[in-house]
Amino acid sequence: MTASSHSPQLFDTKPFRVIGACLLLALCAAGGWAQTSTPGPAIDIEIINPADGSNTFCVAPGETLTARLFIRPGIDTTSCTPSCGTVVEGGPGQIATAVVDIAYDKEKLSLAATADNSETAAIDGLIQDNSAQGRIGWALAGDWTPNADTSGALATPCDMQLLDSAGWVLETEFTVQPTASGITSLHLRHETDTESFNLSFADICGSEAFTATNGGIDEIIDGTVLISSSCADVLFFDGFEDGAINRWSAD
Tens of pLDDT, residues 220-237 = 999 999 999 888 766 554
**pLDDT band per the 50, 70, 90 thresholds, residue 30:** very low
Give the residue among 230, 224, 226, 233 at the shortest CA–CA distance from 251: 233
Mean predicted confidence (pLDDT) in 145-163: 79
So what's the pLDDT on residue 120?
A: 65
Q: Is 233 helix (H, G, I), strand (E, B) or coil?
A: helix
Q: What is the mean pLDDT of residues 5-27?
A: 36
Inside any domain, residue 223:
yes
Evaluate if residue 151 carries a pLDDT over 90.
no
**Predicted pLDDT of residue 190:** 84
Q: Which of 51-65, 185-199, 202-216 has the lowest mean pLDDT?
A: 185-199
- Residue 251 placed within a domain: no
Report the alpha-carbon distance of residue 29 to residue 251 in Å, rounded: 8
Name which of 33, 64, 12 is nearest 225 in CA terms.
Answer: 64
Strands 217-221 and 43-48 turn out to be parallel
Domain-embedded: residue 25: no
Beta carbons of 40 and 75 less than 8 angstroms apart = yes
Nearest Cα neighbor of 2 from 31, 22, 45 is 31
Q: Which of 41-45, 58-62, 116-120 is predicted with the least confidence, judged by mean pLDDT? A: 116-120
Does residue 72 contact residue 168 with C-beta atoms inside 8 Å?
no
In a domain, residue 235? The reply is no
Q: Is residue 22 within 8 Å of residue 136, measured between CB atoms?
A: no
- In a domain, residue 28? The reply is no
Supply the pLDDT for residue 242. 45
Range of the domain at 115: 35-228
Specify if 27 maps to a domain. Answer: no
- Bridging pattern class, strands 223-227 and 235-238: unpaired
**What's the CATH code of the domain at 76?**
2.60.40.680
CA distance 167 to 35: 10
What are φ and ψ of residue 233, in 5° steps? -100, 5
Question: What pLDDT was estimated at residue 150?
Answer: 75
Question: Does a structural domain hold residue 11?
Answer: no
- Residue 187 confidence (pLDDT): 94
State how far the alpha carbon of 6 is from the alpha carbons of 52, 127, 214, 247, in Å: 21, 43, 42, 9
| In the predicted structure, residue 15 carries a pLDDT above the cut 70 | no
The sign of the dihedral angle between the CA atoms of 44, 188, 208, 83 is negative
CA neighbor of 211 nearest in space, from 231, 194, 191:
191
Q: What is the pLDDT of residue 7?
A: 32
At 205 the pLDDT is 81
Is omega for the bond preceding 73 within 30 degrees of 0, making it cis? no
How many domains in the chain?
A: 1
In a domain, 66, yes or no: yes
What is the rounded CA–CA span in Å between residue 29 and residue 93?
Answer: 30
Task: List the beta strands (DSSP E) in 108-166.
Answer: 109-116, 125-130, 135-140, 144-145, 153-154
Mean pLDDT, residues 186-203 = 83
Indicate whether 17 pLDDT > 60: no
